[in-house]
Amino acid sequence: DTGVSQDPRHKITKRGQNVTFRCDPISEHNRLYWYRQTLGQGPEFLTYFQNEAQLEKSRLLSDRFSAERPKGSFSTLEIQRTEQGDSAMYLCAGSGANYGYTFGSGTRLTVV
């Protein structure tokens, strides 16, 4: 248990459906990050929050992707009209002081 929880662990969805993932960081994590990892690649930055404010979004994050962090606690990542290319592991990480990142175990999305 890393202290950063992600739900669900696995999600299989049909192309065109919407999916939502949740991340619960440790309470001390004022920053929360979303990354995407595909097979054979390193994690790619998607977006991050400082408390409840979304401060940066990657160009990888198309209009079909949206993330929220209401009240600066948990965060959700929604993908609308999923495509097969969205199949990946979606990682959440919390960060506090000293650049310390704590990663969750990820949500593996398979779009069929």
* Of residues 99, 91, 48, 56, the one with CA closest to residue 72: 48
For another protein, how many residues bind (rule: CB under 8 A)?
A: 22
- Residue number with CB closer to another protein (41 or 51): 41
Smallest separation (angstroms) from another protein to the CB of 82 = 24
CA–CA distance, 87 with 107 (Å, rounded to integer): 10
Name the residue type at position 35.
Y
Name the residue type at position 22.
R
- Residue number with CB closer to another protein (76 or 105): 105
CA–CA distance, 105 with 15 (Å, rounded to integer): 24
Hey, which residues does 59 pair with through a beta bridge? Answer: none
From candidates 21, 25, 29, 31, binder to another protein by CB under 8 A: 31
- Residue number with CB closer to another protein (15 or 101): 101
Q: Does 94 bind another protein (CB under 8 A)?
A: no
Q: Does 2 bind another protein (CB under 8 A)?
A: yes
Q: Does 51 bind another protein (CB under 8 A)?
A: no
What burial class does residue 7 get, using C-beta atoms within 10 Å of its C-beta: 0-12 exposed, 13-18 middle, 19+ buried? middle
**Binding footprint of another protein on the chain (CB under 8 A):** 2, 31, 33, 35, 40-45, 48, 55-56, 91, 93, 99-101, 103-106
